[in-house]
Amino acid sequence: MKFPKQHTLKEIASLIDVTFIGDANFPVLGMNEIHVVEPGDIVFVDHPKYYDKALNSAATIVLINKEVACPEGKALLISDDPFRDFNKLTKHFKPFQPALSSIADSAKIGKNTIIQPNCFIGNNVVIGDNCIIHSNVTIYDDSIIGNHVNIHAGTILGASAFYYKNRPEGFDPLISGGRVVIKDHVDIGALCTIDRGVTGDTTIGEGSKLDNQIQIGHDTIVGKKCLIASQTGIAGCVIIEDEVTIWGQVGVKSGITLAKGTVLYAQSGLGHSTNENTTYFGSPASEARERFKEMAYIKQIPKIIEQLKNK
């Protein structure tokens, strides 16, 4: 998430009432999670296990809960609770805006696009040309939808990320300030839910087709010409490359990559990255041909036992 204008390190430190290490005029351009940070971004880290990863990331400002040596060319914001203060920044730069109508005045809707009754279209939403948005679709603030997109009834774009910190008093949500971006020629079935990015974008690539009742988590990237069948659940921060096929009731773990041309057979549970043009099956999923061989061998066990008994 980029800020509307450049800020200084001192200004950001004042906003969240923390100390800083570095030039007071050090430029701050935005804030992001570690997997999408760029120079000028703030990244937060609150566990020693991830200090090195954050300090060595592309981010040039690190919001951290310990005074450490500041890497050259970077700056630090020292906080007793980086998670809380990252949320403060999100609230400041991307505050919640209540809706004043079912289709916000700031929404931009393209030529020949049809919006069916009972839809909600939030602030700053952009919808391209020749789209059909069927009844009871909800499109949260800042979502971007391309041309020739069909979205079927009951689908929700832009709900918050399922991302919490476990505190003694309960679960504390990481506030979502990102977007959902739907590229051209995408079809989205009924009752799908696509969560917005925490600070970046959750993206559905050009020409991809989603069946009914699919969940896609925050910051996941779906490539071009992908097919995803019903009741599939994809966690956050997954990268799905082009021309991937996912059949029904598949579960995909967060933070992995599905390489181009991957096929996942129905009811598989995938917990690792895949190889290009390879088919997987099972839970935990493995290469389909090997899994089918294993299943065939297992069927032979009763016969083998019977043969041993008769010796």
CATH of the domain at 240: 2.160.10.10
CATH number, position 20: 3.40.1390.10
List pLDDT tens digits, range 158-170.
999 999 999 999 9
Does the annotation count 218 as an active-site position?
A: yes
155 and 269 co-located in one domain: yes
Contact call for residues 189 and 213 (beta carbons, < 8 A): yes
26 and 158 co-located in one domain: no
Q: Please report the pLDDT score of residue 305 as a whole number.
A: 85
Q: Please report the pLDDT score of residue 310 as a whole number.
A: 80
List pLDDT tens digits, range 59-114.
999 999 999 999 999 999 999 999 999 999 999 999 999 999 999 999 999 999 99
126 and 273 co-located in one domain: yes
57 and 127 co-located in one domain: no
139 and 220 co-located in one domain: yes
100 domain-assigned: no
214 and 152 co-located in one domain: yes
228 domain-assigned: yes
Output the six-digit token pair for 171.
């679960």
d(CA 102, CA 104): 6
**Which of these is catalytic: 7, 134, 148, 218?**
218
114 domain-assigned: yes
Q: Please report the pLDDT score of residue 164 as a whole number.
A: 96
For 40, 203, 273, the CA distances from 241, given in Å and listed in that order, are 27, 11, 11
Q: Give the chain's domain count.
A: 2
Q: Residue 251 forms beta bridges with which residues?
A: 233, 269
224 and 118 co-located in one domain: yes
What pTM, to 2 d.p., does this model score?
A: 0.93
List pLDDT tens digits, range 33-65.
998 999 999 999 999 999 999 999 999 999 999
Tell which of 41, 63, 93 closes a domain.
Answer: 93
139 and 263 co-located in one domain: yes
d(CA 281, CA 199): 33
Q: What is the DSSP string of the chain?
A: -EEEEEEEHHHHHHHHT-EEES-TT-EEEEE--GGG--TTEEEEE-SGGGHHHHHTSS-SEEEESS--PPPTT-EEEE-S-HHHHHHHHHHHHS-----SSSB-TT-EE-TT-EE-TT-EE-TT-EE-SS-EE-TT-EE-TT-EE-SS-EE-TT-EEEEPP--EEEETTEEEEPPP--EEEE-TT-EE-TT-EEEPPSSSEEEE-TT-EE-SS-EE-TT-EE-TT-EE-TT-EE-TT-EE-TT-EE-TT-EE-TT-EE-TT-EE-TT-EE-S---TT-EEETTTTEEHHHHHHHHHHHHTHHHHHHHHHT-
Looking at residues 231-238, what average pLDDT do you find? Answer: 98
Q: Please report the pLDDT score of residue 18 as a whole number.
A: 98
Q: Please report the pLDDT score of residue 165 as a whole number.
A: 96
Q: Is the pLDDT of residue 311 over 80?
A: no
The Cα angle at residue 6 between residues 64 and 195, in degrees rounded to 5: 65
Domain of residue 84: give its range.
2-93
178 and 286 co-located in one domain: yes
126 and 72 co-located in one domain: no
